Amino acid sequence: MSDTATVYNFSAGPAMLPQAVMRQAQKEFCNWHDTGLSVLDFSHRGADFTAIAEQAEKDLRDLLAIPEDYSVLFCPGGASLQFSAIAMNFLRGKALYLNSGVWGDKATQEAKNFGDVIAFDLLSKQDGKTAIRSQQDWPDCSDDYDYIHFTPNETIGGVEFADLPKAGQGRWIADMSSCILSQPINVKDYALIYAGAQKNIGPAGLTIVIVRNDWLQREPVAPVPSLLSYAVMAQNQSMYNTPPTYAWYLAGLVFQWIKAEGGVAQMARRAEQRSQALYQFIDNNDFYRNPIAKKNRSRMNIPFILKDESLNSLFLQQAEAAGLRYLKGHRSVGGMRASLYNAMPMQGVEALIDFMSAFAAQNR
């Protein structure tokens, strides 16, 4: 964000926040609602912060239609901490990890520290493109797993599930870090949903957990540190210790912004528009290539490869100069990646396409 030139942040995370949210936070930074104090000053147990915290939870509940029998937790640490927390709280016999990329693999590795984990790689190649295997090729999800973990949108590979699995109902755990609030979901399909905040929610360091209350009664096999215990977090309204108050407040502003913009259905429409525009451009320009099968292309994270990879650094250098930031692909994939989360305006995508078009014309 800048007052002098338009700069767009295409980072996979920390990602850009909506301009309106940045402005509002700036406006009330030193003096929130005539209290004479910043949100940074507030006691997490005081009336002002309690109001902010409760409103944020209520808005998130409205946005995702979270049923009454689910708790919403505002947890410290990133999504990666949940990789351990999930296993420590819920892994008793065995769990199934259906993986479609790096984050699922990492979740698997962490869970293995705590018990029996069966990991299945969902990815396959179809006509040279990466795709998710169809459900008939998966392990039997109705087997007696404690839970089934998956990652609806794999941020690094740019792979997204076209439709959610049917079997294994009530036991799905989803890492929605990079897709939460980008489309309506049916919360009832899941036992637990978690998402690091720094993509579609707010600043890094906060993670949202949505967990069905009956799972809070599950007895862990070994003692769980209080801050990683969902039961303890729920009993204490996520305030067992000092929560990341400012991140919570900013998340609340983002929830209000999404509501004001028309809710999650509207976010879904925009995500479709943004990603379709960029995929269409890439598909119609042989200078660029996206390595994912159409049905599994992410609406949020779009990796693309230049035909001539020796131009990578020139591309990045000129993109930066044009105000298009953080387009470098993840080191495990190479090439470029444009992350188009909720806060990315269509103008950002248009600016990127204009740049890519001109770059291709100049460097053929």
Q: How far is the CB of 244 from ligand PLP (least distance, A)?
A: 12
Cβ proximity to ligand PLP, 147 vs 281, nearer residue: 147
Query: Is 175 part of the annotated catalytic residue set?
Result: yes
Q: How far is the CB of 151 from ligand PLP (least distance, A)?
A: 5
On whether 337 is known to bind a ligand per the annotation, the reply is no
Tokens of 207: 């993670």
Q: How far is the CB of 230 from ligand PLP (least distance, A)?
A: 17
- The CA radius of gyration of the chain, in Å to the nearest whole number, is 21
Cβ proximity to ligand PLP, 247 vs 360, nearer residue: 247
Estimate to the nearest angstrom the gap between the alpha carbon of 197 and the chain centroid: 7
Tokens of 358: 């001109």
- What is the spatial distance between Cα 32 and Cα 49, in angstroms, rounded to a whole number? 11
On whether 79 is known to bind a ligand per the annotation, the reply is yes
The β-bridge relationship of strands 288-289 and 301-306 is antiparallel
On whether 245 is known to bind a ligand per the annotation, the reply is no
* Surface-to-core class of residue 140, CB atoms within 10 Å of its CB (0-12 exposed, 13-18 middle, 19+ buried): exposed
On whether 142 is known to bind a ligand per the annotation, the reply is no
DSSP letters spanning 85-133: HHHHHH-SSEEEEEE-SHHHHHHHHHHTTTSEEEEEE-EEEETTEEEEP
Cβ proximity to ligand PLP, 77 vs 323, nearer residue: 77
Tokens of 27: 């406006």
* Surface-to-core class of residue 7, CB atoms within 10 Å of its CB (0-12 exposed, 13-18 middle, 19+ buried): middle
Residues 6+ apart with CB under 8 A from 129: 291, 292, 293, 294
Of the residues 138, 199, 215, 328, only one is catalytic, namely 199
Cβ proximity to ligand PLP, 15 vs 351, nearer residue: 15
Query: Is 103 part of the annotated catalytic residue set?
Result: yes
Q: Give, rounded to a whole angstrom, the gap between the first and last alpha carbons of the chain.
A: 32
Contact 164, 184 (CB under 8 A): no
On whether 155 is known to bind a ligand per the annotation, the reply is yes
Q: How far is the CB of 86 from ligand PLP (least distance, A)?
A: 12
Of the residues 32, 103, 248, 257, only one is catalytic, namely 103
Q: Could you write out the three-class secondary structure of 239-271?
A: CCCCCCHHHHHHHHHHHHHHHHHCHHHHHHHHH
The β-bridge relationship of strands 190-196 and 172-175 is parallel
Cβ proximity to ligand PLP, 130 vs 151, nearer residue: 151
Is 154 strand, coil or helix? strand
Query: Is 199 part of the annotated catalytic residue set?
Result: yes
On whether 241 is known to bind a ligand per the annotation, the reply is yes
Q: How far is the CB of 178 from ligand PLP (least distance, A)?
A: 4
Residue ranges binding ligand PLP (CB under 6 A): 13, 78-80, 103, 151, 155, 175, 177-178, 196
Of the residues 175, 215, 257, 328, only one is catalytic, namely 175
Cβ proximity to ligand PLP, 206 vs 356, nearer residue: 206
Q: How far is the CB of 112 from ligand PLP (least distance, A)?
A: 17
Question: What residues are designated binding site for L-glutamate?
Answer: 45
Catalytic residues: 103, 175, 199
Question: What residues are designated binding site for pyridoxal 5'-phosphate?
Answer: 79-80, 103, 155, 175, 198, 241-242
Question: What residues are designated binding site?
Answer: 45, 79-80, 103, 155, 175, 198, 241-242
